[in-house]
Chain A
């Protein structure tokens, strides 16, 4: 990496490297080479396939394409079946380098294959693409036409973002998680608080988080309105990549310089955070759980890239161990990937959830995307580990979705109403 006298943030260093420049400054419009382009069945082949045909163009480098089938599952109607078939055909015809068919949600699957590494510049055809930022990669979401441009040229233009630093000091209390941090931030800073700039998370409470919890932070940078959500890599990052079969070599170089210019700097104390619950219909409607506890629920949903990774299932199991869900409440579980599900099964976590009454759904975006037949019905009240509770997203316009952490959703399933998870954890596991 070229060195220079100008201190740069992590985001600026990655963009400079990808753009072939020594230095970039916020506001510069640059063209960057893409290291990996990730698509799924919804925004991918069915949309970009016809665009490539129209251009008469080929993919610049199929080895740098990842395609994941995760949105239109289960394919229980003719349109969904056709959309998925288009993705399968595209993978073969275009010789897509990394193709994952019905193995889980893109944001969970890519890191499990060691494909997301520090310093990479990655575009994803999905708004939760900032998830890759947890590995110190500049990963951001784009729509289908931007993706078509990348597929043809291997490049994308962007305005170099400023960096907003968010530091969490202290330690999260028992029963608290990355999800509580993000719901708090969405409400504190607003869903445009990220200003489509690079958000960088740091501090003692962040460093203490395991990789999948860091992914939840970066993932919900989408709800915070940031372009990407970075966490500078450390030994936990490197070990996670190595365990996934990737090569983390050189990770130490990927951090912001002392003195790099920041747009904003926020500091919060993790030790004073309470479990957060977002009221319908926005993640920015979050409150301390004391204010929402007691609201009756019909459904408790553990799903999505945000809230059904192995770490999320473990949190739910910590609460649900030895309990059954309340009568009349459905606990639905859609593990974020088949690998996470198998590990949960092997270690007993999945058994705890099933014994408590969880119904197992496919390893897919499921009700969170709201694309399939499975959606919440009229007047259903649900609490969910997912990222978005916009009106009508997960079900009928009359359905009400509250958002909480896996701990909180599990506790609410037991109580049949929104409940503080901490009493269930006293003297128990982490």
Chain B
């Protein structure tokens, strides 16, 4: 997959990703306000296949799954950061959104075209002509991405059991 990079700083919190004042709305509407307090151009302009690049501790704060789901609804293909807050990390994979731990994420600049190879754990920056490694995904997470999230995984497991 190849997409354009949107870059953000450290400690992007769940109130920035899924602002509380919109939490009572349907998640598709909430998604239109994703990160509006940090970069108001993001939600209106992000394209399917784009990637979000953050600083360390991306997704800290609430357990609200809408923080990851908003990105997914906007078409974000992956989130790349040196580290993630634990609950956000699980939520992202449970929704089939890869969260990739990449110590060198800070070298990606806004607008770079980035290609990801999830199985190999390699990110190619087409704009800069460089590659960087991200931490390879353990099977449990790779399977969640392959199956499109935990619900789809549970559905398949239940079908396998009843078959």
Contacts and interface: CB of A to CB of B under 8 A. Distances in A.
A374 to B, nearest CB: 11
Contact of A145 (B25, B61, B94): B94
Interface stretch (A75-83, A249-257, A347-355): A75-83
Contact of A148 (B16, B56, B151): B151
B9 interface: no
B14 to A, nearest CB: 8
A55 B91 contact: no
Contact of A227 (B15, B21, B86): B86
Most chain A CB neighbours (cut-off 10 Å) among B15, B68, B83, B158? B15
A51 interface: yes
Contacts of A190: 57
B154 A146 contact: no
A33 interface: no
Nearest to B57: A192
Nearest to B95: A145
Contacts of A43: 63-65
Interface in A378-394: 388, 390-393
Interface residues of B, number: 37
A192 B61 CA distance: 11
A125 B63 contact: yes
Contacts of B155: 54-55
A150 to B, nearest CB: 10
Interface string A185-221: 0000011100010000000000000000000000000
A393 B15 CA distance: 6
Contacts of A371: 20-21, 23-24
A40 to B, nearest CB: 10
Given A77-B24, A79-B24, A397-B37, A146 B151 contact: no
B138 A391 contact: no
B60 interface: yes
Interface stretch (A136-144, A286-294, A323-331): A136-144
Interface residues of A, number: 46
A43 B56 CA distance: 25
Contact of A388 (B61, B90, B91): B61
Contacts of A227: 86
A157 interface: yes
B157 to A, nearest CB: 9
A377 B159 CA distance: 51
Contact of B91 (A145, A157, A393): A145
A153 B150 CA distance: 12
Nearest to A50: B151
A70 interface: no
A391 B65 contact: no
Interface string A247-287: 00000000000000000000000000000000000100000
A387 to B, nearest CB: 10
A29 interface: yes
A391 B150 contact: no
Given A143-B90, A371-B23, A225 B151 contact: no
Contacts of B91: 143, 145-146
Interface in B72-99: 83, 85-87, 89-91, 94-95
B16 A192 contact: no
Contacts of B60: 191-192, 225
A228 to B, nearest CB: 10
Contacts of B20: 369-371, 392-393
A54 B61 contact: no
Nearest to A396: B21
A220 to B, nearest CB: 12
Contact of B16 (A145, A152, A157, A391): A391
A375 interface: yes
Interface string A71-107: 0100001011001000000000000000000000000
26 contacts: A29-B140, A42-B23, A42-B64, A47-B65, A55-B151, A55-B155, A127-B61, A142-B90, A143-B91, A148-B150, A157-B140, A191-B11, A192-B60, A196-B85, A225-B57, A225-B86, A282-B11, A370-B20, A371-B20, A371-B21, A371-B24, A388-B61, A390-B61, A391-B15, A392-B21, A393-B20
Given A55-B155, A79-B24, 14 more contacts: A42-B64, A77-B24, A79-B25, A143-B65, A143-B68, A225-B60, A227-B86, A370-B15, A370-B20, A375-B21, A391-B16, A392-B19, A393-B13, A393-B15
Interface of A: 29, 42-43, 47, 51, 54-55, 57, 72, 77, 79-80, 83, 124-127, 129, 141-146, 148-149, 152-153, 157, 190-192, 196, 225, 227, 282, 369-371, 375, 388, 390-393, 397
Interface of B: 11, 13, 15-16, 19-21, 23-25, 37, 56-57, 60-65, 68, 83, 85-87, 89-91, 94-95, 138, 140, 149-151, 154-155, 158
